[in-house]
Structure 1
Amino acid sequence: MEFSSEPVVCVKNADIYQENQVVLNNIAFNIDKGEFAYLIGRTGSGKSSLLKTIYADLPLRSGEVEVAGINIMGIKRKQVPHLRRKIGIVFQDFQLFNDRSVTENLIFVMQATGWKESSKMKARLAEVLMRVGLGAVSSKMPHQLSGGEQQRVVIARALINEPSILIADEPTGNLDPKVSDDIFKLFLEINRSGTAVLMATHNHTFLTNYPARVLKCEAGKILDSEKEEFELTGYY
């Protein structure tokens, strides 16, 4: 396969909407392959809307957004599963099916993104659960797992298709500090293996203990720590 040095996310002159309100105006930034970046900002500043636009849950109305080589503008519904094979999404509130086992939750995603061969699905399922430290929970139901274990299942689900980037929206927001730190370190391990990570977070401890590039949503703009200095605190 030919190696590409193109950014995994490229945003140019984009307006980001929350319903009919512009929350981010004329923004531009790239996320490179294998990069780790934080996304911070006060509640309502546009963080989640930006992430949802990147993974095509919200429509892009103006500007350019390209993710893993796919142009988001005007993307058709039938093209979204192809995009989602290249993006892993980790939510704060897990969004697991509570009436299905861990295995069934992961198989649902596999089938939705085009997997067909049962033997390959089983092998990949076992592989991603081992990677997140959950080799023995495949038959359990979500309610039988701790919050940290549920989030590890969500991360396993996000890794199914070997994505170019993990997009995480407050992935430790519902977890206690010790579990949060363990989950964060798992993201770092995944990033070190070559997967880019864009993580929205309110956890200032991460920024202090694990410094990385920071994108801050503020007053309708994106501030980039690689280009300018700004205050990291006070973004709640």
Structure 2
Amino acid sequence: MSFSDEPIVSIRNANIFQDHATVLSEITFDIGKGEFLYLVGRTGSGKSSLLKTLYGDLPLRLGDIKVVGYDIRGIKSSDVPYLRRKIGIIFQDFELFYDRSVAENLYFVMKATGWKEKSKMKSRLAEVLMRVGLGSVSSKMPHQLSGGEQQRVVIARALINEPQILFADEPTGNLDPEVSDGIMKLFLEINKSGTSVVMATHNHHLLQKFPARVIKCEGGKIKDSTKENFELTGLF
């Protein structure tokens, strides 16, 4: 699909740290508005640390990164919630509240991000659950849902504030192949509506079945499939 020349993420000569160790050095690349991007590499290669830096969970000490207009280097803790209203974050282990219903899980995010009018909250809840194919589960508890359904709830939660970009860290890692394909198709539908998607994955099958641009983390550096040819085998 086509996407805007103006990047939604701009990374320039950035060093990515995990604790005090440098995991990626002097990386530079852009992510376009409406783009779908895979982030691949061996365990410990820096994929998750890069994602955490992009959404403000790890500090950026060297280099420059801009995400949806926010300068990540030196971002104030008080500005991080505003950044996260413009992005969606999806985790492998769901991170749902298992003592609350699906609706209560989503309402929690709405309240935390400034929603106040109950009628608008109820309408948005119904809208995002329908979008992810879960229109009838709002009153259910997470443990009553399958793994694939729980991941769809997580995606619905990430879509609450109509994010400009989704960051997904191994979103299909705990799911079987058929369910993973369904989740992947949902991501592609979201992407076609104009939302950028950055997905860290070990799933070689998904890259083959749903090809897109690939950034490979390896040896403290990154390689970009749009600029060079490389084999993905042996990286997972």
Q: Give the TM-score of the pair, scaled to structure 2.
A: 0.97
Q: CA RMSD in A?
A: 0.9
Q: 1:62, CA displacement in angstroms?
A: 0.9
Alignment correspondent of 2:104: 104
User: 1:73-120, CA deviations, whole angstroms, 9 ceiling, x for partnerless residues?
Assistant: 111111111100111111000000111111111011111111111111
Q: 1:6, CA displacement in angstroms?
A: 2.4
Q: Distance in 2 between matches of 1:79 and 1:113?
A: 12
2:41 equivalent to 1:28? no
Alignment correspondent of 1:189: 189
One-letter identity of the residue aligned with 2:177: P
Q: Distance in 2 between matches of 1:186 and 1:233?
A: 25
**Could you tell which deviates more after superposition, 127-136 or 104-113?**
104-113
Residue segments in structure 1 that go unaligned for 5+ positions in a row: none
2:42 equivalent to 1:42? yes
2:228 equivalent to 1:228? yes
What SS does the aligned partner of 2:90 have? Answer: strand
Alignment correspondent of 2:125: 125
Alignment correspondent of 1:10: 10
One-letter identity of the residue aligned with 1:54: L
Q: Distance in 1 between matches of 2:5 and 2:41?
A: 29
2:86 equivalent to 1:86? yes
What SS does the aligned partner of 1:104 have? Answer: helix
Alignment correspondent of 2:216: 216
2:95 equivalent to 1:95? yes
Q: Percent identity?
A: 74
One-letter identity of the residue aligned with 2:110: M
1:169-180 matches, cutoff 5 A:
169-180=169-180
| Residue-pair matches, total | 233
Alignment correspondent of 1:72: 72
What stretches of structure 1 move > 4 A for 4+ residues in a row? none
What SS does the aligned partner of 2:22 have? Answer: strand
Residue segments in structure 2 that go unaligned for 5+ positions in a row: none
**Could you tell which deviates more after superposition, 197-206 or 108-117?**
108-117
Q: Distance in 2 between matches of 1:165 and 1:11?
A: 15
